[in-house]
Structure 1
């Protein structure tokens, strides 16, 4: 898959060299207001390892869905929680939240980001819970996975681990 879709199936050697999984790039300066909203919610993460934050499923979570050979990942949040976190942010960002449609599978929730790719990769499950999704944040433009990993290694970006749920 090319990096323009900003979703990869791969490994982050300095984070977990043995785990292949789904990686999404999140641009803090994106013209799509939903990506900065994801970054606002990432502030709720708990740093476990240096530069690696884990989010609680009630703050931000991912949903996998498969349609044929396409795997999609959506990042979801509770509208009210996000509205509270956006109070100190620009009005334009808050206004965009009001325009986001509710997620039909979860009342009171919004889909912030949805990405998909053609792959035969099936996220592994443990006790019925799908593998978490890894987010790598950066500032500006489209970058490839190798560049994102290099930015993380140079402490110029952060990693967030987001719990996943199966598709509904």
Structure 2
């Protein structure tokens, strides 16, 4: 599947709060079993979360963050990590991934971060809010999936949900 098949602008049922006017969010499907090194590194970094309340894990902005780019009719989502976090995590925990992901680390930095994943679609949706950019919702499920498949897999406990904030905020 291409980028457009793994990125959606939608209401995320697991995050609904019962209001009539549900907010649309940017949803990106991540396949941790993919051969794509960027998706595999994203999955690895999500394990770096720091537990707040029971069952809720938080990522620091330099662990994994999102940056949006907008052109006339396209919206791009970039998932970034700091070079230090990337180097530590790949060396310490996923040496098997180091060779496959070397091109990610060797590429020019984007806003001081290692670009792990870039997805883009044609849309007029603008995720910018009065307080900055919206977070991105990642749904992790093995294998490519349609949007309804991701939601049903999450409901059945076969997928994980992560909300990733804006890159570089609160550093």
TM-score by length of 2: 0.82
1: CA distance, partners of 2:14 / 2:86: 31
Cα distance between partner residues in 2 of 1:49 and 1:69: 40
Structure 2 counterpart SS, 1:121: coil
**Tell me, what secondary structure is at the counterpart of 2:120?**
strand
More strand by share: 1
Question: After the TM superposition, which residues 46-125 of structure 1 pair with which residues of structure 2 at under 5 Å, given as runs?
Answer: 46=50, 53-86=57-90, 87-91=92-96, 93-100=97-104, 101-107=106-112, 109-125=113-129
Taking a change above 3 Å as real, the CA distance of residues 114 and 50 of structure 1, as seen in their structure-2 partners, is farther
Gaps of 5+ in 2: none
Gaps of 5+ in 1: none
Deviations along 1:70-103, whole A, 9 cap, x unmatched? Answer: 0000100112212211222243x11233322444
Relative to structure 1, is the Cα distance of residues 143 and 3 closer, same or farther in structure 2, using a 3 angstrom cutoff? farther
**In the TM superposition, what whole-angstrom CA distance separates every residue of 1:110-155 from its partner, at most 9, and x where no partner exists?**
111100001111114142x211000000112x20111101111111
Asked whether the equivalents of residues 49 and 59 of structure 2 are also in contact (C-alpha less than 8 Å), the reply is: yes
TM-score (norm 1): 0.84
- Provide the aligned length of Structure 1 versus Structure 2: 161
